[in-house]
């Protein structure tokens, strides 16, 4: 609140109002829209950045902003080197926020409603080969407590295709090892059931029997995967682990957190799985989102053909 103390009185009122209405908006997205926690954090982060821009440019609150002001904000984002996808997400956050204010009666029109998003180049997702998946999943040290945990996490990601954000929010009761299924709450709090493979079941049993009890500090901790402090593992914590194991495996490419999810979907399709089943397991609302993996699969088939056919 140090910033508020330095502002003139009319700016203080605008700033405090913006803080309150932002919290109302985030609560609305959480309760009425059922958005996931990491999505809510993205909205909050984008809008805080926009509000800071308004304050820096002498605009006391979001209600007095204009399309020209929003365009200038997005231009600054572009000049700072942010990717088009990130800028478009900022615009989407601002547009949704103003739609909320319009609905609440705080403004008469949405200044961002007619603003167009930047064109983005569609990139194919990063996918590991079968051999590199095996190599990555073999890196954790199974003689250590954390190694057993890391092995279970990696196996579970590749076996189910769940997102990293979904992985870290799994609770003990999310997994039914006896039935061989995982229950996952995805985007929009939509629940889906995903089968577990034999390797992931074996790794989970090893972790739950021999590792988690030693990491546990509080008996009532519900989180499935916990850190060395006995608390739920964070997304950042997992990202560090993934980078460490990729480096250890000698995989040269930078592995994004969703690489195992992308590999899961692509490998299923390459081995004959139908698109609808893969869509269901990934939790995609629209099958067009899943179809990108068919492009990846075809691209990989062409690469294999060129490398292996004597007259390719």
Look at residue 175 and tell me if it is in a domain: yes
pLDDT for residue 170: 94
Q: What percent of the chain lies above the pLDDT cut of 90?
A: 39
CA–CA separation, 148 vs 299, rounded Å? 35
Residue 300 has pLDDT above 80, yes or no: no
Q: Which residue has the tokens 């209600």?
A: 63
pLDDT for residue 202: 96
Tell me the pLDDT band of 305, cut-offs 50, 70 and 90: low
Residue among 163, 212, 262, 267 flagged as catalytic: 163
Vertex 209 angle, CA 161 and 221, to 5°? 75
Within this chain, do residues 295 and 218 fall inside the same structural domain, yes or no? yes
Look at residue 166 and tell me if it is in a domain: yes
Residue among 44, 49, 63, 258 flagged as catalytic: 258
CA–CA separation, 28 vs 254, rounded Å? 36
Tell me the pLDDT band of 8, cut-offs 50, 70 and 90: very low
Within this chain, do residues 253 and 165 fall inside the same structural domain, yes or no? yes
Q: If 0-12 CB within 10 Å is exposed, 13-18 middle and 19+ buried, where does residue 177 land?
A: middle
**pTM listed for this prediction:** 0.63
Residue 54 has pLDDT above 80, yes or no: yes
Give the three-state DSSP class for 297: helix
Q: Write down the mean pLDDT value for the chain.
A: 84
Look at residue 118 and tell me if it is in a domain: no
Tell me the pLDDT band of 1, cut-offs 50, 70 and 90: very low
Element (H, E) at 279: helix 275-282
Pick from 162, 167, 222: which is nearest to 192 by CA?
162
Within this chain, do residues 135 and 85 fall inside the same structural domain, yes or no? no
CA–CA separation, 43 vs 96, rounded Å? 9
Tell me the pLDDT band of 216, cut-offs 50, 70 and 90: very high
CA–CA separation, 239 vs 153, rounded Å? 12
Look at residue 121 and tell me if it is in a domain: no
CB 238 within 8 A of CB 164: yes
Look at residue 110 and tell me if it is in a domain: no
148 among known catalytic residues:
no
Look at residue 120 and tell me if it is in a domain: no
Within this chain, do residues 298 and 166 fall inside the same structural domain, yes or no? yes
| Joined tokens for residue 183 | 């229950």
267 among known catalytic residues:
no
Residue 201 has pLDDT above 70, yes or no: yes
Within this chain, do residues 201 and 251 fall inside the same structural domain, yes or no? yes
Mean pLDDT of 219-245: 93
Residue among 95, 148, 212, 261 flagged as catalytic: 261
Within this chain, do residues 167 and 278 fall inside the same structural domain, yes or no? yes
pLDDT for residue 5: 41
How far out from the chain centre does Cα 250 lie? 25
Residue of higher predicted confidence among 15 and 97: 97
Tell me the pLDDT band of 249, cut-offs 50, 70 and 90: very high
Residue 18 has pLDDT above 60, yes or no: yes
262 among known catalytic residues:
no
Within this chain, do residues 23 and 146 fall inside the same structural domain, yes or no? no
The domain in which residue 198 lies consists of 130-308
Give the three-state DSSP class for 236: helix
Pick from 146, 295, 125: which is nearest to 206 by CA?
146
List, in sequence order, every residue forming a beta bridge with 208; answer none if it has no partner: none
CA–CA separation, 185 vs 287, rounded Å? 19
Among 1-10, 71-80, 134-143, 259-268, name the most confident range: 134-143
The last residue of one of the domains, among 47, 70, 104, is 104
Within this chain, do residues 50 and 152 fall inside the same structural domain, yes or no? no
CATH label of the domain that carries residue 16 = 1.10.150.130
Look at residue 286 and tell me if it is in a domain: yes
Cα of first residue to Cα of last residue in the chain, in angstroms, is 66
How far out from the chain centre does Cα 154 lie? 16
Residue among 12, 44, 187, 248 flagged as catalytic: 187
HSE-up (13 A, CA, CB side) for residue 254: 3
Residue 284 has pLDDT above 90, yes or no: no
Query: How many domains is the chain partitioned into structurally?
Result: 2
CB 293 within 8 A of CB 158: no
CATH label of the domain that carries residue 159 = 1.10.443.10
Tell me the pLDDT band of 16, cut-offs 50, 70 and 90: low
The last residue of one of the domains, among 53, 87, 104, is 104
Within this chain, do residues 97 and 164 fall inside the same structural domain, yes or no? no
Look at residue 191 and tell me if it is in a domain: yes
Within this chain, do residues 83 and 156 fall inside the same structural domain, yes or no? no
The last residue of one of the domains, among 46, 70, 104, is 104
Q: How many helices (H) and strands (E) does the chain have?
A: 15, 3
Residue of higher predicted confidence among 97 and 64: 97
pLDDT for residue 227: 94
Within this chain, do residues 168 and 247 fall inside the same structural domain, yes or no? yes
- Range of lowest pLDDT (49-53, 54-58, 168-172): 54-58
Q: Which residue has the tokens 């053909």?
A: 305
Pick from 97, 99, 93, 100: which is nearest to 74 by CA?
93
CB 18 within 8 A of CB 62: yes
Within this chain, do residues 85 and 158 fall inside the same structural domain, yes or no? no
- Range of lowest pLDDT (12-26, 85-99, 153-167, 232-246): 12-26
163 among known catalytic residues:
yes
CA–CA separation, 302 vs 298, rounded Å? 6
């Amino acid at each position: 609140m140090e910033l508020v103390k330095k502002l003139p009185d009319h700016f203080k009122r605008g700033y405090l109002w913006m803080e309150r209405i932002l919290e109302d908006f985030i609560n609305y997205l959480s309760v009425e829209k059922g958005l996931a926690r990491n999505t809510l954090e993205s909205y909050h982060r984008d809008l805080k950045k926009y509000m800071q821009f308004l304050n820096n440019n002498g605009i006391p609150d979001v209600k007095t902003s204009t399309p020209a002001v929003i365009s200038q904000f997005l231009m600054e984002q572009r000049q700072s080197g942010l990717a088009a996808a990130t800028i478009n997400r900022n615009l989407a956050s601002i547009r949704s926020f103003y739609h909320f204010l319009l609905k609440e009666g705080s403004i008469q029109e949405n200044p961002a409603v007619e603003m167009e998003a930047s064109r983005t180049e569609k990139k194919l997702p990063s996918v590991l080969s079968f051999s590199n998946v095996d190599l990555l999943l073999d890196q954790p040290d199974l003689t250590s407590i954390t190694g057993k945990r890391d092995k279970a996490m990696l196996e579970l990601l590749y076996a189910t295709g769940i997102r990293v954000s979904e992985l870290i929010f799994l609770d003990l009761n999310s997994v039914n090892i006896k039935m061989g299924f995982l229950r996952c709450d995805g985007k929009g709090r939509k629940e889906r059931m995903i089968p577990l493979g034999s390797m992931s079941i074996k790794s989970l049993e090893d972790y739950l029997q021999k590792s988690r009890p030693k990491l546990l500090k509080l008996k009532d901790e519900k989180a499935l995967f916990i850190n060395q402090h006995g608390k739920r593992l964070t997304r950042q914590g997992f990202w560090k682990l993934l980078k460490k194991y990729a480096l250890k495996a000698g995989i040269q490419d930078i592995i994004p957190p969703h690489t195992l999810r992308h590999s899961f979907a692509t490998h299923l399709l390459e081995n004959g799985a139908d698109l609808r089943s893969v869509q269901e397991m990934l939790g995609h609302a629209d099958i067009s989102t899943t179809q990108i993996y068919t492009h990846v699969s075809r691209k990989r088939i062409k690469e294999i053909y060129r490398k292996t056919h004597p007259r390719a």
